[in-house]
Chains A and B, each alone.
Chain A
């Protein structure tokens, strides 16, 4: 017999979690389940909540490398100017605002930026700055649009972030403050290939480590040791930036200890995968799912479905070979894009592997890209084309199924990387798809 729920969300990233939470909020009596195969791409992402940083370009356009456009100051003001088919255009500007509010409620103190409609400019680990709408509390003191001088601290065993270079780059980018960088060795790290979770754990648990300088003092707490290592490099800067490794479970406490010890503000610079800020956001969302009574089934893929009369009857989950039917009134597909494998490709075609929903794309794969790596890449826009209800449309523009909606990167028609709109689209479409599914499930 099938495991039965009212709303079934497939996919456990930002869009899927938002959809499940929105459904649970809209229909408090509904039973909502989230099924996620493997882990989401949240921990690939920097943890920033981008809404819109740059106006979308047009597909296939070749452009030179480097600066193309000015960053958008107020993303919400631009939402109504987007081309037809863009996910924001589909759901409408108001829904985007609602979704951001929904997120702000969920995130609470963990995120900042909700006090204004304006984008913040945040330094990246490559030394550039990027526009974003919400940022983790850990990054709040690191904004490039804040004119206080900053010391950046890198570690010789973390080659992704070269602090002196990043500082020089931030200055080249015209940021209104002086930045300086130093590279230190991280107290307590024994091997050169320690994972970022190891750094975070040392600080979370304040493990005892050899005090820096190898003095006879013996062992001290990792936080104190780190602060001591940084202290002598401060030259009056009121804030110090670290790569985003300052704790996993207790980031606020770690930052506070360091700030107290150094007498300055401490911030994190978001990093690429594996990203602790992304991981923390994931933890936050899953705690919220648990509180909201959403049932989570993870580690197993949805592999098949049965449909009748234009509706999905049930889907089939593969549990190490056993096929488990899951039934619901409403379904939300939030399986991600090319990276999350919600969209797949072969030499001949691009497809959505679960329901085989229509994915518009050129038949010649040499038209899937342009020659400039940062040009207007068609492949970056691969995904489903939905109606305004976010129901994926088939090749004749009819909904594929009446009770299936799609959210997040599985949708096409936008280039989140160029626009800096990834999290915003996931929130907005997840919110809308979840709300509608909740409404129609009861």
Chain B
């Protein structure tokens, strides 16, 4: 029987995109389906830490070792997604000396470069660290943009012939007897780039082999073919600060606990996190105390956080897994290692493997192992090159960094744009001299050219544009730029499509802000509301029901 594709990857997170890229480079025909946007699941909901491994140096040295190896690889192949911030494990007076020593020893055991700093030295690096921070261990933690990394993987997969379908939700696994041979998906708006407001269709996609890389949702996919995959989803909150209070990753040096990390991420700093098991990865409570705990506890490390502006909070769900019968109680103690479940070996059902557990920093290594597994199944004999081949945007970073061209942009805007685009910057930002390239999102410094490039990639989905460019992710949370971003869709897309895209983005931006509604952000929310409701009347837009307005009844002029 002829299949639509050789390998079908389910899930557009880091693992799925990594696998798709790895296989595509090896010459395998791959299709990837994702129910929402790329990174719509756990990948887009993490704190953006590129682990040095220091975090696991006491509890899980195998993971720690793997982290430092992958950390070094990503700095090379994804340099435009990585910021080499460095990291500190800081010890407060009440934190245990014993643990500090174990941490340092653990780092050294795992090959993680680690230096001890006095409190004073640590404060020289990060002036806002608390006065009573006693000392710190410096490690090569970094910050990574999960959106950019994921999109770059998908883009490269496409360049190598893969088909990537977003907004295509798997509604059924196709199983015949003991063989899984594909899926049925529901296209939100039709195959290809997304166009809002166009009716969806369903499609059966058949494949020689299916890889279930849906993480926390793997159990749900498995259930479609009566396979039991006991993922233990665990939620964690992350709170985004408006500005970077620190430029280094700050970890609390104590055994385990909530609210113990601050990651500088692009223009913001992200506070994390909690670890609490949930039943349903799509429906779990997002609670006030979780946000308050982030602020109150992390203010012990960086006191100005207490009164600083937060712009939103979000929750992610870890796809934790442990083999049946392990029975760990506290989700914090569940291993961060990943598991490849070959359903043929495990359940006697062929044609599919599931991948569960794991962590973002090691996504590439996971993808490599799975791709090896799949290639073995398919009899493909090709070596993995993802540890050496730079991702699109990271091919020629050195040249870009030395280049003085600012593409006619003000220097901080040019700097941030180039950082986001990496070696693609000249292609995207070099505009015709007569063509205006105004800034569309002023908080993040995103220009029209960059927005247009993203629309080119992703269609009318402004959230997809957002994750590619960071537009609408700054302090106004889209209040001032959502409309401008939507304007950029026209005339490529018609008015109705643009309106729907704007509504969706604006509501999405509101969702996260609800958890930051006090002080400056509440005032910002009121201003945004006034702009969109009072000035633009978007809350009662007659275009949504034109028959209701009898224009002739109103003042038509003196």
Enumerate chain A interface residues (CB-CB to B < 8 A).
44-46, 50, 53-54, 65-71, 73, 112-113, 115-116, 118-121, 124-131, 140-141, 143-147, 156-162, 164-165, 168-169, 172-176, 185, 192-193, 270-273, 337-339, 341, 344-347, 364-366, 368-369, 371-374, 377, 379-380, 416-418, 420, 422
Q: If the complex has contacts A113-B555, A121-B554, are A270 and B535 also in contact, measured as CB distance less than 8 A? A: yes
The 5 A-B residue pairs with the shortest CB-CB distance, nearest first, are A174-B546, A130-B537, A126-B536, A162-B487, A417-B533
Whether the Cβ atoms of B557 and A165 lie closer than 8 Å is: no
Q: If the complex has contacts A128-B542, A338-B526, are A418 and B533 also in contact, measured as CB distance less than 8 A? A: yes
In addition to A172-B546, A173-B549, A338-B522, 19 A-B residue pairs with Cβ atoms within 8 Å of each other are A71-B540, A121-B549, A121-B555, A125-B536, A126-B537, A130-B534, A130-B540, A143-B555, A158-B438, A165-B490, A168-B494, A272-B480, A345-B518, A368-B522, A373-B506, A379-B522, A379-B525, A380-B526, A420-B537
Nearest chain B residue, comparing its CB with the CB of A194: B438
Confirm or deny: B105 has a beta carbon within 8 angstroms of a beta carbon on chain A: no
Enumerate chain B interface residues (CB-CB to A < 8 A).
288, 292, 295, 408, 410, 434-440, 448, 480, 483-484, 487-488, 490-491, 494-496, 498-499, 503, 506-507, 510-511, 514, 517-519, 522-523, 525-527, 529-549, 551-558
Q: Can you sample 15 A-B contacts with CB below 8 Å?
A: A65-B507, A71-B540, A71-B549, A121-B549, A128-B538, A143-B554, A156-B435, A159-B448, A160-B483, A173-B541, A364-B288, A365-B517, A368-B517, A368-B522, A371-B514
Whether the Cβ atoms of A131 and B554 lie closer than 8 Å is: yes
Whether the Cβ atoms of B555 and A185 lie closer than 8 Å is: no
Report the minimal beta-carbon distance from B287 to chain A, rounded to whole angstroms.
8
Whether the Cβ atoms of B410 and A339 lie closer than 8 Å is: no
Residues in B with CB closer than 8 Å to A159 are: 438-440, 448, 484, 487-488
Whether the Cβ atoms of A143 and B557 lie closer than 8 Å is: yes
Q: If the complex has contacts A347-B518, A380-B529, A416-B530, are A172 and B554 also in contact, measured as CB distance less than 8 A? A: no
Report the minimal beta-carbon distance from B307 to chain A, rounded to whole angstroms.
9
Docked Cα-Cα span, A256 to B333, in Å, equals 75
Q: If the complex has contacts A66-B503, A118-B554, A145-B554, are A173 and B517 also in contact, measured as CB distance less than 8 A? A: no
Whether the Cβ atoms of B555 and A164 lie closer than 8 Å is: no
Nearest chain A residue, comparing its CB with the CB of B286: A366
Residues in B with CB closer than 8 Å to A118 are: 553-555
Residues in B with CB closer than 8 Å to A346 are: 518-519
Report the minimal beta-carbon distance from A421 to chain B, rounded to whole angstroms.
9
Report the minimal beta-carbon distance from A65 to chain B, rounded to whole angstroms.
6
SS class of chain A's interface: helix, strand, loop or mixed?
loop
Select which of A115, A141, A165 is within 8 A of B495 by beta carbon: A165
Docked Cα-Cα span, A144 to B523, in Å, equals 32
Whether the Cβ atoms of B549 and A417 lie closer than 8 Å is: no
Whether the Cβ atoms of B542 and A173 lie closer than 8 Å is: yes
Q: If the complex has contacts A67-B545, A345-B518, A364-B288, are A145 and B556 also in contact, measured as CB distance less than 8 A? A: yes
Select which of B535, B551, B554, B557 is within 8 A of A46 by beta carbon: B535
Whether the Cβ atoms of A365 and B540 lie closer than 8 Å is: no
Whether the Cβ atoms of B553 and A73 lie closer than 8 Å is: yes
Nearest chain B residue, comparing its CB with the CB of A371: B514
Nearest chain B residue, comparing its CB with the CB of A364: B288
Residues in B with CB closer than 8 Å to A113 are: 555
Whether the Cβ atoms of A168 and B557 lie closer than 8 Å is: no
Residues in B with CB closer than 8 Å to A164 are: 490-491
Residues in B with CB closer than 8 Å to A174 are: 542-543, 546-547, 549, 551
Nearest chain A residue, comparing its CB with the CB of B536: A126
Docked Cα-Cα span, A89 to B493, in Å, equals 46
Select which of B484, B495, B511, B535 is within 8 A of A172 by beta carbon: B495
Q: If the complex has contacts A67-B548, A116-B555, A165-B498, are A45 and B535 also in contact, measured as CB distance less than 8 A? A: yes
Whether the Cβ atoms of B541 and A67 lie closer than 8 Å is: yes
Nearest chain A residue, comparing its CB with the CB of B413: A193
Q: If the complex has contacts A164-B491, A379-B517, are A144 and B551 also in contact, measured as CB distance less than 8 A? A: yes
Residues in A with CB closer than 8 Å to B519 are: 344-347
SS class of chain B's interface: helix, strand, loop or mixed?
helix
Q: Residue among B439, B495, B549, B553 with the most chain A CB within 10 A?
A: B549
Q: If the complex has contacts A121-B551, A159-B487, are A172 and B496 also in contact, measured as CB distance less than 8 A? A: yes
Q: If the complex has contacts A193-B410, A338-B526, A365-B517, are A54 and B556 also in contact, measured as CB distance less than 8 A? A: no
Residues in A with CB closer than 8 Å to B491 are: 164-165
Q: Residue among B539, B545, B546, B558 with the most chain A CB within 10 A?
A: B539
Residues in A with CB closer than 8 Å to B435 are: 156
Whether the Cβ atoms of B557 and A365 lie closer than 8 Å is: no
Whether the Cβ atoms of A126 and B483 lie closer than 8 Å is: yes
Docked Cα-Cα span, A417 to B540, in Å, equals 11
Q: Residue among B437, B529, B533, B555 with the most chain A CB within 10 A?
A: B555
Docked Cα-Cα span, A119 to B448, in Å, equals 37
Whether the Cβ atoms of B539 and A120 lie closer than 8 Å is: no
Nearest chain B residue, comparing its CB with the CB of A46: B535
Whether the Cβ atoms of A193 and B439 lie closer than 8 Å is: yes
Whether the Cβ atoms of B554 and A374 lie closer than 8 Å is: no
Whether the Cβ atoms of A339 and B436 lie closer than 8 Å is: no
Nearest chain A residue, comparing its CB with the CB of B554: A145
Report the minimal beta-carbon distance from A171 to chain B, rounded to whole angstroms.
8
Docked Cα-Cα span, A139 to B438, in Å, equals 27
Nearest chain B residue, comparing its CB with the CB of A167: B495
Residues in A with CB closer than 8 Å to B553 are: 73, 118, 145
Select which of A145, A271, A365, A418 is within 8 A of B288 by beta carbon: A365
Whether the Cβ atoms of B544 and A374 lie closer than 8 Å is: no
Whether the Cβ atoms of B536 and A128 lie closer than 8 Å is: yes
Whether the Cβ atoms of A141 and B440 lie closer than 8 Å is: no
Nearest chain A residue, comparing its CB with the CB of B307: A346
Whether the Cβ atoms of B551 and A422 lie closer than 8 Å is: no
Residues in B with CB closer than 8 Å to A175 are: 551
Docked Cα-Cα span, A112 to B48, in Å, equals 54
Whether the Cβ atoms of A115 and B558 lie closer than 8 Å is: yes
Q: If the complex has contacts A118-B553, A126-B538, are A157 and B558 also in contact, measured as CB distance less than 8 A? A: no
Whether the Cβ atoms of B548 and A70 lie closer than 8 Å is: yes
Report the minimal beta-carbon distance from A245 to chain B, rounded to whole angstroms.
14
Residues in A with CB closer than 8 Å to B556 are: 120, 143, 145-147
Nearest chain B residue, comparing its CB with the CB of A133: B555
Report the minimal beta-carbon distance from B422 to chain A, rounded to whole angstroms.
23
Residues in A with CB closer than 8 Å to B434 are: 185
Q: If the complex has contacts A116-B555, A338-B522, are A185 and B436 also in contact, measured as CB distance less than 8 A? A: yes
Nearest chain B residue, comparing its CB with the CB of A177: B551
Docked Cα-Cα span, A139 to B517, in Å, equals 35
Docked Cα-Cα span, A176 to B292, in Å, equals 52
Q: Residue among A145, A380, A420 with the most chain B CB within 10 A?
A: A145
Residues in B with CB closer than 8 Å to A44 are: 527, 530-531
Q: If the complex has contacts A128-B541, A368-B522, are A192 and B438 also in contact, measured as CB distance less than 8 A? A: yes
Whether the Cβ atoms of A272 and B490 lie closer than 8 Å is: no
Nearest chain A residue, comparing its CB with the CB of B495: A168
Docked Cα-Cα span, A190 to B434, in Å, equals 11
Docked Cα-Cα span, A344 to B535, in Å, equals 23
Residues in B with CB closer than 8 Å to A127 are: 495, 543
Docked Cα-Cα span, A341 to B548, in Å, equals 37
Report the minimal beta-carbon distance from B310 to chain A, rounded to whole angstroms.
10
Report the minimal beta-carbon distance from A164 to chain B, rounded to whole angstroms.
6
Residues in A with CB closer than 8 Å to B558 are: 112, 115, 140
Residues in B with CB closer than 8 Å to A344 are: 519
Report the minimal beta-carbon distance from A5 to chain B, rounded to whole angstroms.
30
Residues in B with CB closer than 8 Å to A45 are: 530, 534-535
Docked Cα-Cα span, A69 to B295, in Å, equals 41
Residues in A with CB closer than 8 Å to B490 are: 162, 164-165, 168
Residues in A with CB closer than 8 Å to B510 are: 373
Docked Cα-Cα span, A157 to B527, in Å, equals 24
Docked Cα-Cα span, A366 to B511, in Å, equals 13
Docked Cα-Cα span, A65 to B540, in Å, equals 8
Docked Cα-Cα span, A156 to B551, in Å, equals 31
Nearest chain B residue, comparing its CB with the CB of A377: B529
Nearest chain A residue, comparing its CB with the CB of B484: A159
Docked Cα-Cα span, A141 to B555, in Å, equals 12
Report the minimal beta-carbon distance from B219 to chain A, rounded to whole angstroms.
27
